[in-house]
Amino acid sequence: MHEISLVRSIFNTLESEFSKKELDTMTAINLRVGLLSNVEPLLMQNAFDAVTTAEEKYQGVKLQVELVPIEIHCNDCQSSSIVENYKFVCASCGKPNNNVVKGTELLIHQVHFDS
Amino acid sequence: MDKIQKSTKTARGTVTCDNTTMHLLKANDFVAASIREKMTEKNILLINITSSAGSGKTTLLQETARRIGGKVNMKVLVGDLETERDADRIRETGVDALQIVTGGICHLEAQMVWQAMENLNLEGVELLIIENVGNLVCPASFDLGEDYRVTLIATTEGDDKPKKYPRMFLTSEMMLVSKVDLLEHLPFSVEAVVADARDVNPNIKVLEVSSTKNMGIDAWCEWLLEKVKEKQNTKKEVTA
Ligand SMILES: Nc1nc2c(ncn2[C@@H]2O[C@H](COP(=O)(O)OP(=O)(O)OP(=O)(O)O)[C@@H](O)[C@H]2O)c(=O)[nH]1
Ligand SMILES: [Mg+2]
Ligand SMILES: [Zn+2]
């Protein structure tokens, strides 16, 4: 798994968006992780703890991981539905559909600062 | 960032940042886009072959190289955790291959492919095949700039794998059921695996192959040659 490199990527991303001064007041990071992103929230949490401890930075920062379900949009009947059990069919008209509109994301959704 | 303007305002409280700048794979996707651009410019068809460890990727590529290595100008990039063995096996067939040793990383990233390409003479090349690291999880998330992703599933594996690794099958153009010469000895059902894969990706193409008993290899090579031709033709349309 590549959770460790994702944690480094979180830090790199934050460091290019915010100043050191801002990051010193950071208290929490919210990730949005699609069910199709192949990221296991628990492993992500462990990797985050491991890296923050090893590199002695962002140590009191909380990581929250929000799982996003898979959503498809049907162009035939113009409706959106949630994919259950990885069966990619439109819930309203029953046609096979893999037009995924949500569920692959892997992004920083929110950053909380104590200021 | 949608709520703050960098450098003019200090980030405070809660900052919501639902846009692509906070996308964690953006570095990979950026390089993948560069690869795609370069391959389009040179009209090289780029194929990314994935599977679990040992499903028969290298054996299939050896057989493919023997068949069409004389017809199209092809090269192979092989990702492997530690060794150079698979590239040696491809080179035995007379096709140029380069190993990317990932040093323990369980997938290829676009940056690794980009660097490897700099050590590969791409002049006149029409087909570049990448053998990814044997693993159906991580490689699914890393776009390498390929035109098509092809995933092997061997008859020695579970026929319910597509739903266990949906991202991979969702993003694959083709599923190759490999080692079909062993079918009669195994509980594996081709019908079941195809149904499972089509639940995830209704459009996925399926071929059954055996690299050791020469089954389905013609159909596979034909598909490849057809796609090479399509890629070559896009050039003529652009320059015409
Ligand atoms: N019976 C049978 N065995 C095969 C076939 N293709 C490959 N094998 C055997 O399966 C084993 C693994 O094959 P490889 O081609 O090395 O598999 P791979 O996917 O490249 O493996 P990794 O690179 O380690 O992930 C070897 O012992 C092959 O001889 C096939 O069509 N039929
Ligand atoms: Mg191999
Ligand atoms: Zn519908």
Q: Considering just the CA atoms, what is the radius of gyration of chain A in Å?
A: 17
Token pair for A87:
């069966």
- Mean pLDDT over B2-16 rounds to 63
CA gap A45, B224 in Å, rounded: 42
Stretch among B9-18, B68-77, B199-208, B209-218 having the lowest mean pLDDT: B9-18
B18-231: CATH topology is: Rossmann fold (3.40.50)
Residue of chain B whose Cα is closest to the Cα of A22: B11
Chain A hits for B26, Cβ within 8 Å: 13
The ligand whose atoms approach the alpha carbon of B185 most closely is 1
- Mean pLDDT over B49-70 rounds to 97
Residue B235: which pLDDT band, with cuts at 50, 70 and 90? low
Domain locations along chain B: 18-231
pLDDT at B7: 46
Q: Greater confidence, B26 or A94?
A: A94
Q: What is the pLDDT of residues B27-37, one digit of tens each?
A: 899 999 999 99
CB contact residues (below 8 A), chain B span 8-27, against chain A:
10-18, 20-27
- Mean pLDDT over B30-45 rounds to 96
- Mean pLDDT over B114-136 rounds to 95
Closest CA to B170 of B148, B140, B199, B200: B200
Q: What is the pLDDT of residues B200-222, one digit of tens each?
A: 999 999 999 999 999 999 999 99
pLDDT at B84: 83
Q: What is the pLDDT of residues B106-122, one digit of tens each?
A: 899 999 999 999 999 99
Closest CA to B159 of B135, B178, B138, B134: B178
- Mean pLDDT over B165-170 rounds to 95
- Mean pLDDT over A48-75 rounds to 93
Which among A98, A105, A109 is the top mutation candidate for probing chain B, defined by the most B β-carbons within 10 Å of its own β-carbon? A98
CA gap B92, B31 in Å, rounded: 31
Residue B188: which pLDDT band, with cuts at 50, 70 and 90? very high
State whether the Cα torsion B211-B217-B220-B222 is positive or negative. Answer: positive
DSSP B136: S
pLDDT at B240: 47
Share of chain B above pLDDT 70, in %: 92
In ligand 1, which atom is closest to the CA atom of B135?
25
If phi over 0 gives left and psi between -120 and 50 gives alpha, with beta otherwise, what is residue B47? beta
pLDDT at B239: 54
Helices (H), chain B: 26-41, 57-68, 85-91, 110-118, 161-164, 166-170, 190-200, 217-239
Q: Report whether pLDDT(B21) > 70.
A: no
Chain B hits for A105, Cβ within 8 Å: 23
Q: Which domains does chain A have, with CATH numbers?
A: 2-69+103-113 (3.30.2320.80)
- Mean pLDDT over A70-77 rounds to 96
Find tokens 């600062």 and name the residue.
A113
In ligand 1, which atom is closest to the CA atom of B210?
31
- Mean pLDDT over A14-31 rounds to 93
Residues B170, A100: C-beta atoms closer than 8 Å = yes
pLDDT at B10: 76
* Residue with CA nearest ligand 1 atom 7: B56
Residue of chain B whose Cα is closest to the Cα of A90: B199
Residues with CB under 6 A from ligand 1: B 51, 53-59, 86, 134, 178-179, 181-182, 210-212
Please, are residues B126 and B227 in contact by the beta-carbon 8 Å criterion? no
| Mean of per-residue pLDDT scores for chain A | 92
Closest CA to B99 of B115, B119, B84: B84
pTM (two decimals): 0.88
Stretch among A6-10, B87-91, B127-131 having the lowest mean pLDDT: A6-10
- Mean pLDDT over A87-110 rounds to 93
pLDDT at B14: 82
Closest CA to A48 of A8, A12, A13: A8
Ligand 2 is an ion; residues with CB less than 5 A from it: B 57-58, 86
